[in-house]
Chains A and B, each alone.
Chain A
Amino acid sequence: MQLKLISCEIFYRELCAAVSRSRNTVDIEFLPKGLHDIGCASMLARLQEVVDRVEEGKYEAVLLGYGLCNNGIVGLTARATPIVIPRAHDCITLFLGSRQRYFDYFNSHPGVFFKTTGWIERGDSRGELRQLSIQRRIGLDSSFEELVEKYGEDNARYLWDEMCDLGRNYRQLTFIEMGVEPDDRFERQTREEAASRGWDFERVKGDPSMIQRFVDGCWDEREFLIVRPGARVAPTYEDDIITLDQL
Chain B
Amino acid sequence: MVDLTQLHDAILRGDAKKAVAVTREALAENASPTELVSKHMIPAMDEVGRRFECQEYFVPELLLSARAMKGALELIRPLLVEQGVASAGRVIIGTVKGDLHDIGKNLVASMLEGAGFEVIDLGTDVAPGKIVTEILERKPNIVALSALLTTTMPFMKSTIEELKKAGVREQVKVMVGGAPVTQQYAEQIGADGYSDNANGAVAIARKLVSG
- By a beta-carbon cutoff of 8 Å, the part of chain A in contact with chain B is 68, 70-71, 89-90, 102-103, 106-107, 110-111, 134, 137-140, 142, 147, 150-151, 155, 158-159, 162-163, 168-171, 235, 237-238, 241
Contacts and interface: CB of A to CB of B under 8 A. Distances in A.
B98 interface: yes
A151 B60 contact: yes
A110 B99 CA distance: 7
Of A142, A147, A159, A241, most buried by chain B (CB within 10 Å of CB) is A159
Nearest to B99: A110
B98 A159 contact: no
Interface residues of B, number: 30
B59 interface: yes
A11 B129 CA distance: 38
B151 A155 contact: no
Given A89-B150, A140-B59, A158 B67 contact: yes
Contacts of A168: 100, 102
Contacts of B60: 139, 142, 147, 150-151, 159, 163
B58 A138 contact: yes
Interface string B49-66: 000000000111101100
B151 A139 contact: no
Given A106-B98, A110-B125, A168-B102, A151 B180 contact: no
Contacts of B103: 140, 162-163
7 contacts: A70-B179, A110-B99, A110-B100, A110-B125, A151-B14, A168-B102, A169-B102
Contacts of B185: 235, 237
Contact of B64 (A68, A110, A111, A151): A151
Contacts of B150: 68, 70-71, 89-90, 235, 241
Contacts of A90: 150-151
Contact of B100 (A151, A169, A241): A169
B99 A162 contact: no
Nearest to A234: B184
B77 interface: no
B157 interface: yes
Contacts of B79: none
A106 B59 contact: no
A171 to B, nearest CB: 8
Given A110-B99, A237-B188, A89 B151 contact: yes
B58 A71 contact: no
A150 B124 CA distance: 30
B175 interface: no
A158 B151 contact: no
Interface string B179-193: 110100100110000
B57 to A, nearest CB: 9
B72 to A, nearest CB: 16
B98 A107 contact: yes
A43 to B, nearest CB: 12
A240 to B, nearest CB: 12
Nearest to A161: B63
Of B59, B154, B185, most buried by chain A (CB within 10 Å of CB) is B59
A109 to B, nearest CB: 9
A237 B102 CA distance: 22
B58 A139 contact: yes
Nearest to B155: A107
A237 B63 contact: no
A151 B67 CA distance: 14
B153 interface: yes
Nearest to B107: A162
A168 B123 CA distance: 11
Given A111-B100, A159-B63, A170-B100, A106 B125 contact: no
A138 B58 CA distance: 5
A158 B102 contact: no
